């Protein structure tokens, strides 16, 4: 018997046929209106839901799907999935940990280079016919700090360490003793010790405003912030103030509090590089992401352990 998957995501369409070729029936609902209609019209048919962290799945939606058995989240974050409601129903939740780590790490290094070497401003001024040969900081040898050393954090650390001779430090809940990087027990202590601070930790209540005004102050006037994870990890008001007042040198952001709305104040600053939440998007990442979803679904419906379970 074929299983029906409610697809809430909108970024991996090209590779969804991988699921259909494996026998899954897909109900695509990539916006709020289609989502509500699909749940109302097909509630009894839905066996699985494919979503992503910011889209999530609410307790009321879970309750409305009587035959839901598994929720697959693309990407590492699952902050808007109601894990308590899922657990109460015995519903399995998986995520896409590691599937797009290479793409995110590549984008992080691109942001790092663009920010420190002032590439966007140099490009824009050259196109205007100017010849502003501004001296910009080197990247090689800068001290890199990473908050969160999962698959993405490790991929960033590897590129920075091996490619740019950057000493790497990190903060996570517990030290990763198998890795040759320096662990700090708090974001504040990490920020004091580095030149560039990268956010690579999942969102959610546990990491809400982990980077606040004190951490930004510790990073200092020659320090840079890069966020390719979730906007909620950083106190956005404190970040804007730090950028406007020169408390930090600059920031590169791929994530924002109210996407797709980016604050005009951020756009107006010359010490920011802004991209529209695309760090994890590439053809290769989309293919690997859907492949991992398929493997999780196949394992689950075969009565086998899923590959990337989320523990509530």
State the catalytic residues: 230, 259, 277
Closest CA to 54 of 202, 166, 164: 202
What tokens were used for 12?
């991996």
Do 250 and 271 form a contact (C-beta atoms < 8 A)?
yes
**Cβ 230 vs Cβ 79: under 8 Å:** yes
Omega cis (within 30) before 118: no
CA terminus-to-terminus distance, the chain: 29
Ramachandran class of 249: left when φ > 0, alpha when ψ lies in -120 to 50, beta otherwise: alpha
Residue 19 to residue 12: CA distance in whole angstroms: 11
d(CA 262, CA 258): 7
């Amino acid at each position: 018997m074929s299983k029906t998957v409610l697809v809430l995501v909108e970024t991996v369409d090209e590779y969804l046929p991988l699921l259909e070729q494996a026998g899954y029936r897909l109900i695509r609902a990539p916006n709020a209106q289609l989502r509500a209609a699909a749940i109302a019209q097909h509630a009894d048919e839905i066996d699985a839901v494919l979503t992503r962290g910011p889209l999530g799945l609410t307790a009321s939606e879970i309750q409305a799907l009587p035959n839901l058995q598994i929720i697959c989240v693309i990407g590492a974050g699952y902050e808007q999935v109601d894990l308590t409601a899922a657990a109460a129903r015995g519903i399995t939740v998986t995520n896409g940990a590691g599937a797009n780590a290479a793409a995110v790490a590549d984008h992080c290094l691109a942001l790092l280079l663009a920010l420190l070497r002032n590439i966007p401003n140099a490009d824009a001024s050259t196109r205007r016919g100017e010849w502003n040969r501004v001296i910009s900081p080197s990247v090689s040898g800068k001290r890199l700090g990473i908050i969160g050393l999962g698959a993405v954090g490790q991929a960033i650390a590897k590129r920075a360490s091996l490619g740019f001779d950057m000493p790497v430090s990190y903060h996570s809940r517990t030290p990763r003793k198998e890795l040759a990087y320096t662990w700090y027990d708090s974001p504040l202590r990490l920020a004091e010790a580095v030149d560039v601070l990268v956010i690579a930790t999942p969102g959610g209540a546990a990491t809400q405003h982990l980077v606040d005004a004190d951490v930004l102050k510790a990073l200092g006037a020659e320090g840079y912030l890069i966020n390719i994870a979730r906007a909620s990890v950083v106190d956005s008001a404190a970040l804007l103030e730090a950028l406007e007042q020169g408390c930090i040198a600059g920031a590169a952001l791929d994530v924002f509090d109210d996407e797709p709305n980016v604050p005009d104040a951020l756009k107006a600053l010359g010490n920011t590089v802004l991209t529209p939440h695309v760090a994890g998007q590439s053809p290769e990442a989309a293919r690997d992401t859907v492949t991992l979803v398929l493997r999780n679904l196949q394992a689950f419906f075969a009565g086998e352990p899923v590959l990337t379970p989320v523990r509530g």
